[in-house]
Amino acid sequence: MNAHAFPAPHESDTAVRQQQQLVRLIDRFTGEDGARTTAVPGLTLFRASQPSEPLHCLYEPALGLVVQGRKQSVLGEETYHYGPSEYLVVSVDLPVIGQVTEASPEVPFLSLRLDLDPKEISALLMDFPVPAPAPQPCPRCLSVSGLGVPLQDAVLRLVQLLDTPEDIPALAPLVRREILYRLLRGEQCAQLRQIASSGTQGHRISRAVNWLRQNFHQPLQIERLANEVNMSTSALHHHFKAMTAMSPLQFQKHLRLQEARRLMLIEALDAASAGGRVGYESPSQFSREYSRLFGAPPLRDIARLRQSA
């Protein structure tokens, strides 16, 4: 049973007060819809006054916290729903479909993202060894958990630093460290340890993901990728699918198509040029796979995106 399912009454009251404070802070510091980078390194605030269309994007390692409204993220064939009193952790780069599902002008969607650095996690584990969880299969690299009072309190103190920017250089690193410690003491300990501890299968899969990001335009040779990360091809397939909900080939396909979409939308490339740039030799194959992922052929999809922008 989730440890946060039935909080003690005083903990519940404290959690509500913390959430209300975060709502007021994020509402004040965003002011209007969109993402707002902050003076705290790695901290981004978000606001939306209406539900969004599904957005294909690349989630990088981060802690995500919704303080008002609700959101869903689709990874492969799995859908994760989350809102207040929950947090999302992403431990490697993942092609995901994100969507704000609950928001209105009167009660806008408000959230934050705090980037996570595996090197910081590794350093923390060396300085303050956290008891390792019981052995288990490679955990998924995206997960949602219940948010407890200690973690929410640390996040609140980090956001409060925006009111005293002169304190950020001295205090933000300390609060970030506390947040990482709280995460390592929570349900996602195994997920974070995997990508921060060299020699683990999770760390090898993290390296495979990084290699695919840098080389997605090249033909995928599984044997070469397996050699790059010192795994057998069967182990690579098994653990890659377990952690990312996709095969390496599916992962590469998502990276290619998302980049092609960006090239057409931002750099105004035509479909054939964009497909060729990301590694497709056949324009018809590119169009088929693009339509399957985004729901429309390239020209129609880009026209729709430009019209809605």
Fold agreement between 197-247 and 250-308: yes
What is the rounded CA–CA span in Å between residue 49 and residue 58?
23
- Per-residue pLDDT of the chain in tens (309 residues, 90 and over written 9): 344 444 555 568 899 999 999 999 999 999 999 999 999 999 999 999 999 999 999 999 999 999 999 999 999 889 999 999 899 999 999 999 999 999 999 999 999 999 999 889 888 888 877 666 665 666 789 999 999 999 999 999 999 999 999 999 999 999 999 999 999 988 888 888 877 777 778 889 989 999 999 999 999 999 999 999 999 999 999 999 999 999 999 999 999 999 999 999 999 999 999 999 999 999 999 999 999 999 999 999 999 998 876
Q: Any idea which fold 9-195 has?
A: Jelly Rolls (2.60.120)
What ranges do the domains of the chain cover? 9-195, 197-247, 250-308
The β-bridge relationship of strands 109-115 and 70-75 is unpaired
CATH number of 250-308: 1.10.10.60
- pTM value is 0.88
Name the CATH code of domain 197-247 (choices 1.10.10, 1.10.3470, 3.40.50, 1.10.287).
1.10.10
Give the 3-state secondary structure of 152-201. Answer: HHHHHHHHHHHHCHHHHHHHHHHHHHHHHHHHHCCCCHHHHHHHHCCCCH
Residue with tokens 């035509």: 270
